[in-house]
Amino acid sequence: MLNALLDNVPLMIMLVGMLVGIASTLVGTFLVLRGSSMLSDAIGHSIVFGIVIVWLLTHQQSGPLQIIGAALTGILTVFLTELLVNTQRVKKDAAIGLVFPVLFSIGVLLLNLYASDVHIDTHTVLLGEIGFVWLDTVDVGGYRVPQSLLSVGAMTLVNAAFVLLFYKELKLATFDAALAKALGFAPGILFYALLLLTSGTAVAAFDAVGAVLFVAFVIVPPAAAYLLTDRLWLMFVYGMAISVLSSVSGYYLAIAWNVSIGGMMAVMTGVFLFVAFLAGPHYGLIAQRMRRLGQRRFNESRTLAVHLYNHEGSPEQATENVVRALQEHLLWDAAKAHRVTRRSCAQGHIVQDGERLHLTSLGRALAQEILEPGSRGARH
């Protein structure tokens, strides 16, 4: 049974993509909330420097030492970025743009000078090839298991354990670093630990999916989840669900259209982000449009109620509290006047008797919410 599953190439490819997405979402959610998501892009490129340095020292192309080397490179990237920012002459985004190209360039130069005959190249690091993960396997208890599945699976477990163990501390440090520091939670150490895990996830994933898909998974699913909910735990749920759906749909669409599997998975994260941007229950364009429309309709009903209230019981009531008078006093066209009248009747704010309009107790209360108690005596 297990052999059959491990021999299922499409399943292995999708499973690696899912695990990369889940591991990336676990750390990326906090980066997105902190406004530091582009650090993942910097780390995703600068790890080339760490990978090459570790290879030059140990001649190991993968394994724990590579993960440690890449993690330290990620910390170096952030340290140099903060160093530039602290000069107060360079803003953070510019500092990121200065640091990671330098480290990436040095890594590429070292790669070309000293490791040109080794299977480490910039194309692999940046783009990867998730479709070939089933070719690189290791023996585990007599079963041939894709190496990428093991490395990414291990990082997923480590990231999940870190988030579960320090959930409250991470949450507080993300939303109120000053309070976290006052309570002794050391938000700076937590942030650097988060970046260590981000770097480790990057190097665990780069051989299979490359830095580009890694960055997409770190940023896009959490950003889409942020458009769907204000609850942190739900952000994790939605982000991981989007990662899983992007991996599955991206694989099948890539096969159907004969395009890059990793590239299509990245595209699908963008598709889900677009859907969240349009249809998110709170911040989506459709929801915002509906709220604005509802508020406009409410204001129209309230305006009608105030108009009727101001003339209620006055000598002018017979001529003012009629539909045609709304066009003159409220500057509504005939269609809008009839539309608002029908809506107010349906809402129970007014009743219509021929041309005459009368407030109900509900409509009167609506008008009184706006008018001061003395406004009733100021009718005209």
3-class SS at 141? coil
> What is the SS3 string spanning 138-201?
EEECCEEEEHHHHHHHHHHHHHHHHHHHCHHHHHHHHHCHHHHHHCCCCHHHHHHHHHHHHHHH
3-class SS at 86? coil
- Which residues touch 204 (CB under 8 Å, ≥6 apart)? 23, 67, 148, 151, 152, 154, 155
pLDDT score, position 116: 64
pLDDT score, position 378: 45
- C-alpha 184/C-alpha 190 separation (Å) is 11
Question: What is the Rg, in whole angstroms, of the alpha carbon atoms belonging to the chain?
Answer: 30
For the chain, the domains span: 2-219, 287-378
- Which residues touch 218 (CB under 8 Å, ≥6 apart)? 24, 25, 27, 28, 31, 37, 40, 44, 198, 201
Kindly indicate whether the domain formed by 287-378 is annotated with CATH number 1.10.10.10: yes
One CATH from 1.10.3470.10, 3.30.470.10, 3.40.50.720, 2.60.120.1440 for 2-219: 1.10.3470.10
Query: Mean pLDDT, 10 residues at a time, over the chain (380 residues)?
Result: 67 93 96 89 82 81 72 85 86 85 86 67 61 79 83 94 95 89 87 88 78 89 95 96 97 94 92 95 91 94 93 89 89 93 95 91 90 51
Place of tokens 């539309």: 339
pLDDT score, position 29: 96
| Element (DSSP H or E) covering residue 126 | helix 122-127
Q: DSSP characters for 238-299? A: HHHHHHHHHHHHHHHHHHHHT--HHHHHHHHHHHHHHHHHHH-TTTSHHHHHHHHHHHHHHH
E strand intervals along the chain: 137-140, 143-146, 350-353, 356-359
Contact 307, 326 (CB under 8 A): yes
Place of tokens 């993942």: 40
> Global pTM?
0.83
What one-letter code names the amino acid at 352?
Q
Q: How many residues does the chain have?
A: 380
pLDDT score, position 128: 65
pLDDT score, position 371: 80
- At 222, list the tokens: 């959490």
- C-alpha 139/C-alpha 141 separation (Å) is 6
**Domains 2-219 and 287-378 equal at CATH topology level:** no
Residue 350, φ and ψ in degrees, nearest 5: -140, 165
Residue 143, φ and ψ in degrees, nearest 5: -110, 140
Q: Is 290 exposed, middle or buried (0-12, 13-18, 19+ CB in 10 A)?
A: exposed
CA angle 95, 100, 106 (to 5 degrees): 135
Nearest by Cα to 199 from 328, 12, 46: 46
Contact 348, 303 (CB under 8 A): no
Nearest by Cα to 101 from 54, 38, 58, 30: 38
Q: DSSP characters for 305-332? A: HHHHHHHTTSTTHHHHSBHHHHHHHS--
Contact 88, 30 (CB under 8 A): no
- C-alpha 59/C-alpha 324 separation (Å) is 88
Residue 119, φ and ψ in degrees, nearest 5: -75, 60
- At 131, list the tokens: 């479709």
